[in-house]
Structure 1
Amino acid sequence: MHTQGATVRRSWASDLDTGTLYALLALRTEVFVVEQECPYQELDGRDLEQRTRHYWLAADRGGTVEILATLRLLKEPGGGYRIGRVCTRLDARGRGLGHRLMDAALAEVGDRQCVLDAQQAQEAFYARHGFVVAGESFVEDGIPHVPMARG
């Protein structure tokens, strides 16, 4: 799949149109629930919070916009930021799309604190963006995770 023309897009939750929100949620479900065979409640109530910012990479395929990768940036109630739900479509992986999204989100975060819970297999991915392990590993929905922080 050619992803060179993929554009980073972002939107506050309140400004996100329903079609795009649906496509973002569909991709996350495809990756986290179906591909990783992990039946869990993907919709956690945070996607529509006023301070949630959604990032995604999309490619225009002859008038049809395809979501290739996504993440969400949460402004935590106690301060700081949390990145989560980072995923890339299976057929678009290995092209640096996740890194492009992380760079865009972290540009917004700046030097403020940011945390995330990484799947252990992705620890090196997040380390490339300045995240370090910030606690004990844990298992969530059958997948080993590690808390990480930056800033």
Structure 2
Amino acid sequence: MIDITVKTYNELTTNELYELLQLRSEVFVVEQDCVYQDIDGKDQKALHVLGIKDGKIVAYTRLFNAGDYFEFPSIGRVVVKETERQFGYGHDIIKASIEAIKKHYQQSRIKISAQTYLIKFYQMHGFEPVGEEYLEDGIPHVAMIRE
């Protein structure tokens, strides 16, 4: 079981910011062997969804309101620590992210840029692919929308 907390950038503690950036780097840069600029200047306007287990961030997403990133609210930087994936925390963090968008942005339509191999995972949460596959930072992605 993970505890989920939603915070603005200014509400994050220094340790939380360090941990979430470390987790994103660990998975997106090291594990996926993808050199890209994770610290992109967008964290300041995002809502941060933290999945915490035993005092450590093991799952995370960041959320944007309509117009901040896409034309609809969006979920990005979806990540679960490799050693914690067996527990289904990816599903927990996505459900919490969808609820946070409804609560904070009063909207239900959500757009994501999903890694192609995760299409079925996101379909379980009501997202459907739209458009063609494309490369983002060298990794195949597809846009998906949840109505």
TM-score normalized with structure 2 length = 0.90
Question: RMSD in angstroms over aligned alpha carbons?
Answer: 1.4
> How far did 1:80 drift?
2.7
What is the rounded CA distance, in whole Å, between the counterparts of 1:138 and 1:46 in structure 2?
22
Could you say which residue in structure 1 is the equivalent of 2:101? 109
> How far did 1:43 drift?
1.0
What is the rounded CA distance, in whole Å, between the counterparts of 2:99 and 2:136 in structure 1?
29
Structure 2 residue corresponding to 1:41, chosen from 37, 42, 64? 37
Q: Is residue 117 of structure 2 the alignment partner of residue 124 of structure 1?
A: no
Structure 2 residue corresponding to 1:93, chosen from 75, 85, 97? 85
Aligned residues: 141
Structure 1 residues not aligned, in runs of 5+: none
Could you say which residue in structure 1 is the equivalent of 2:47? 53
Deviations 1:97-125 (A, max 9, x none): 01111111111333522100000011111
What is the rounded CA distance, in whole Å, between the counterparts of 1:17 and 1:77 in structure 2?
27
Structure 2 residues not aligned, in runs of 5+: none
Identity %: 38
Q: Which has the larger radius of gyration?
A: 1
Secondary structure, counterpart of 1:133 in structure 2: strand
Deviations 1:114-142 (A, max 9, x none): 10000001111111110001111101122
Could you say which residue in structure 2 is the equivalent of 1:75? 65
Report which of the two has the higher share of helix: 2
What is the rounded CA distance, in whole Å, between the counterparts of 2:12 and 2:119 in structure 1?
30
What is the rounded CA distance, in whole Å, between the counterparts of 1:113 and 1:99 in structure 2?
18
Could you say which residue in structure 2 is the equivalent of 1:139? 135
- Checking the alignment, whether the CA contact within 8 Å between 1:80 and 1:112 is kept in structure 2 is no
What is the rounded CA distance, in whole Å, between the counterparts of 2:82 and 2:89 in structure 1?
12
Secondary structure, counterpart of 1:48 in structure 2: helix
What is the rounded CA distance, in whole Å, between the counterparts of 1:87 and 1:36 in structure 2?
12
